[in-house]
Amino acid sequence: MSQQQDLLRDAMRRLNLTRDAFSERLGVRRRALDTWLLPSDSSESRAMPEMVGKFVAEILQREALDTGAGLAGTGQQRPLAQRIAAEGKPQLLSVAQFDRGSLEDLFHVADVMQPIARRQKVTRILEGAVLGSLFFEASTRTRVSFGAAFCRLGGTVCDTTGFTFSSMAKGESIYDTSRVMSGYVDALVVRHPEQGSVAEFARATNIPVINAGDGPGEHPSQAILDLYTIQREFSRMGKLVDGTHVAMVGDLKYGRTVHSLIRLLSLYRGLKFTLVAPPSLEMPAYLVELVARNGHVIEQTSSLAQGLRGADVVYATRVQKERFANGETLEGYTPEFQVCKALVDAVCKPDTILMHPLPRDGRPGANDLSVDLNHDPRLAIFRQTDNGIPVRMAIFAVLMGVEQQVARSMRDAGWRSPAHIGPDDADFDGLD
Ligand code: NCD
C-alpha cells in the first residue's frame, strides 16, 4: 500500500499536477484519490483499482519518453549519486548540485523512507556501516537527526562535538582530520563555522561527505527537507510550488538555511519572494540577482506586515548573533518584529504555512517566531523537523548507492509508537 502512495505522489510531482488536476486526468473523483494517498494504517485508506495503477504507470512512461528523461529505478538513467556528484564524488556540499529532476528523484526516495521514519517498518540496509559525525558548532536537530537517520538504515554512529575535544584544538588541519576519519568511518557529516570548510573536508577524502552547515555558507540538507515539507503541505492543500509566494523573514544575511532554500526554490517557476529583513541583515546581493535572473519576482522590505501579506509560505529565521563581526550591531529590529498569532491572523491566509529551521528564540521579547502560534495548524515547524528523518535517510541511501534496495529490505517494526508524536499535532500530522 505504501508503494501505491509513493507511485501517486511521484506521479503528481513529475507531472506537476495538483490533486484536483491529477484526479481529473485519471478520470476519478478527488475524494477517491485522497483515500488512496492515505497511509495504509489509516481507517479511511483504500487500495486503488489495479487499472488505475496501470494507467498511472503508463502516463509516467509516456511523459518520460516525451521529456527524454528516464524514470528513476528503471535503469534508464545514471544513478542519482552520479547525477548530483560534487567533483565526481558522492558528496553533498551545496544545493547547486541539484536540478529539478534530481531533486524530485530524491523526494521520491524520501517518500519510500516514510514508513521507517514513522516507525512502522525497519531496515538493515546499511548494517555494518559507520557514520562519522563531526560538529564543530552547536546543533541539536541536525546532529541527532543525521545520526538517527543513519541508525534507522541499520548503521551506527561515532561522533565528536566542538573543537575542545578534537585534535583541531592541537592545530590539526582539516585535510589531516578528514583523511584520518575516512579510515575509520564510511561517511562523514560535518558542521563547521567557516564558509567553504566542509568542501575542504570533502576534497581530502573519497567517502561521502555531507555539509551540515558551513558558517554562513550553506545548509543543503535543511533546504531539501524544507522544500520537501512545502511540497507535502501543498499536496494536502492541492497547491503547486510553481507560482507560489514565499516570505523569508529575519537574518537573511547570515542565515545559511535561507541561502540554500532560496536557491533550491528558484529551480521552480514563477515564484514571488518577499524578503523581510532589518536594514543590516539583508539577503546577499549575489543570491537576489541569481533568483531574479531565474525569472522570479523578488521584493525586499523591512516591514513585516507588508512582506507577509498574502504569502503562501512564511519562513522565519533566528538572528545569528554569533556570526556578527566585531562591532556589528542590530538596528531597527525591535521586539515588535515578531511573527505572532495576531500578525498572522491579520495578514496571512487560512492556508499559509509557517516554517522555521529552528531553534527559535522563545524568550519573552525575542524577535522570532512566537510560541503563541503553537496550537495553530498552520504552524508546520514540527512536521518540518519530522521530515528531517526521511530526507536525511534518502540522502544517505543515495550517496551510499542503496536507494533501490530499501523498499525490498523493509520488515515490520517490532514495537508500537503513538500515531501522533506530539500532543499538539494537527489531526492530519503523520497522515498527509
Ligand atoms: C539552523 C542552522 O544551524 O543553520 N538550524 C538548523 O540546522 N536547523 C538555524 C539556526 O541556527 O538559526
pLDDT digits (tens, 9 = 90+) for 139-153: 999 999 999 999 999
- For 114-118, 370-374, 427-431, which range has the lowest pLDDT when averaged over its residues? 427-431
Q: CA–CA separation, 124 vs 132, rounded Å?
A: 18
pLDDT value, residue 333:
63
Q: What percent of the chain has pLDDT over 70?
A: 95
For residue 400, give every residue at least 6 positions away whose Cβ sits within 8 Å of its Cβ, in sequence order, or none: 90, 126, 129, 186, 187, 208
pLDDT value, residue 63:
78
Q: What is the mean pLDDT of residues 217-226?
A: 97
The model's pTM is: 0.90
Q: What is the mean pLDDT of residues 203-230?
A: 97
- Which one is predicted more confidently, 339 or 71? 339
pLDDT value, residue 329:
78
- The atom number, within ligand 1, closest to the CA of 257 reads 4
The answer to whether residue 70 scores a pLDDT higher than 50 is no
Ligand 1, residues 222, 368, 381: which to mutate, most atoms within 8 A of Cβ? 222
Listed by start position, the domains of the chain span: 1-77, 223-382
- The atom number, within ligand 1, closest to the CA of 251 reads 12
Q: Where are the beta strands (DSSP E) in 164-224?
A: 187-192, 209-214
- Which one is predicted more confidently, 75 or 312? 312
- In the reported structure, the alpha carbon of residue 267 is separated from the centroid of ligand 1 by a whole-number distance in angstroms of 23
The answer to whether residue 346 scores a pLDDT higher than 70 is yes
Banded pLDDT at 430 (limits 50, 70, 90): low
Site residues for ligand 1, CB cut-off 6 Å = 141-142, 213, 219, 222, 256-257, 318, 320, 357-358
Which helix or strand (DSSP H or E) is residue 161 part of? strand 156-161
Q: CA–CA separation, 390 vs 384, rounded Å?
A: 11
- What DSSP assignment string belongs to 387-430? HHHHHHHHHHHHHTT-TTTHHHH-EE-SS---SSSSTT--TTTT
- In the reported structure, the alpha carbon of residue 369 is separated from the centroid of ligand 1 by a whole-number distance in angstroms of 14
Banded pLDDT at 166 (limits 50, 70, 90): confident
The answer to whether residue 7 scores a pLDDT higher than 60 is yes
Q: What is the mean pLDDT of residues 338-346?
A: 94
Residue with cell 513585516: 304
The answer to whether residue 73 scores a pLDDT higher than 50 is no
Q: For 173-191, what is each residue's pLDDT tens digit?
A: 999 999 999 999 999 999 9
* 223-382: CATH class: alpha beta
- In the reported structure, the alpha carbon of residue 212 is separated from the centroid of ligand 1 by a whole-number distance in angstroms of 9
Residue 289 in contact with residue 326, Cβ under 8 Å? no
Banded pLDDT at 67 (limits 50, 70, 90): low
The answer to whether residue 75 scores a pLDDT higher than 60 is no
Cell reading at 183? 579510515
